[in-house]
Amino acid sequence: MKARDLHKGLDKGGTFRPQLTSLVDIMVILLFFLIQSFSVEGNLVTPSTDLELPLSDASKSPQPYCNLHITQTQVLVDDEVIVTNQKIASSEDFMIPELFKMMKAQAVKNKDSLSKGKLIIQADKEIPFAIVKKVMFTCSKAGFDDFKVLVVQEE
């Protein structure tokens, strides 16, 4: 390196002035990297307050589908109470008429959307599987054949 090249960044007072162009380039590259790696993904589903969801290690995010909640006392579709768990448990039949009617209406409402036939089920982890099975059976008969079960991801 020649002596005149060393004096390029110095102004007349002898202080060093950094080249702004290269600093701006570095900052722009860092900005693009951070923007690209930053993910803004909000909750697509809000769990009910009286549910304790099971844990999972799955990393795929849920899509906006029709929501069904099975709390410790009742079954809700889009926050509307449909039937109690006691009534479901006491019935010998797998079909739940009240739920079937509601889910059939939901299937008709969603028939032209991307969520056609897709359902997110939020069930408390203490709910007996017999109730969950009856709910899934009824929903499948109403036209929902793609179930996603909402869980809490393990840390």
Q: Tens digits of per-residue pLDDT, 71-112?
A: 889 998 888 898 999 999 998 899 999 999 988 888 888 777
77 close to 67: Cβ distance less than 8 angstroms? yes
Beta bridge partners of 53: none
In the numeric block, which tokens belong to residue 107?
């299937």
pLDDT at 68: 87
Are both 62 and 18 inside the same structural domain? Answer: no
Residue with tokens 């991801």: 153
Q: Tell me the three state secondary structure of residue 148.
A: strand
pLDDT at 87: 92
Residue with tokens 């697509």: 44
Are both 75 and 146 inside the same structural domain? Answer: yes
In the chain, % of residues over pLDDT 90? 13
pLDDT at 12: 62
- Domain span holding position 14: 3-37
In the chain, % of residues over pLDDT 70? 70
- Weakly modelled stretches of the chain, pLDDT under 50: none
Q: Tell me the three state secondary structure of residue 53.
A: coil
Assess if residue 72 is contained within a domain: yes
Total domains in the chain come to 2
